[in-house]
Structure 1
């Protein structure tokens, strides 16, 4: 039986897979490099599959909002840490806003 806690863990794994897939997409050079291209597709398929399982227990709107916001924030952090993208004050505020929105959604009590 899928518990709410396990569903959230699966959703977090989905976020990680999606963000890793996006990093691999950047490395694929427009799908011209085989290994990063295969990794991109595998990660995206895994991300959607894990999210589909998580939405058996987490409301779809809540799951998608948490997934999209977390993925965007994590992908931005990966871009800064591994690809040397700039961290402007506006970008930092945006990342914090995404994270704050996810926290507020979860505090609303509609997470399961």
Structure 2
């Protein structure tokens, strides 16, 4: 199960890199950010395909998208100085709480 979570975390990180680069592509008119974006998404979905062999699609997608959203928001906050107000922080905390609940208490994830 460790390898599955390692692949999932790697897929999430690849998606975060791709999404962060996407903001710099300027509508895919800038070459290198566009290359990083496409490569990042290809790697993310490729890794995700291995995780989906072992875990249910709904659970994988909830974890992948939830943690991806939180990490992209944190990267944007740190690197781009994009402000997060209290409702945004609360919402991000609720997303993390949802991922934790799925992993700790759901019978759909083998422990």
**TM bucket normalised to smaller:** over 0.9
Q: Distance in 1 between matches of 2:30 and 2:47?
A: 26
Task: Give aligned pairs, total.
Answer: 109
- TM-score norm. by structure 1 comes to 0.93
User: Is 1:61 matched with 2:58?
Assistant: yes
Q: Offset at 1:109?
A: 3.4
Q: 1:24 aligns with which of 21, 40, 56?
A: 21
Q: Distance in 1 between matches of 2:47 and 2:10?
A: 7
Structure 1: runs of 5 or more not aligned: none
1:111 maps to 109
User: Is 1:76 matched with 2:108?
Assistant: no
Q: Distance in 1 between matches of 2:52 and 2:64?
A: 11
Q: Offset at 1:30?
A: 1.1
Moved over 2 A (4+): none
SS for the counterpart of 2:23 is helix
CA contact (8 A) 1:10 1:54 kept: yes
Q: Offset at 1:32?
A: 0.9
Q: Offset at 1:110?
A: 2.1
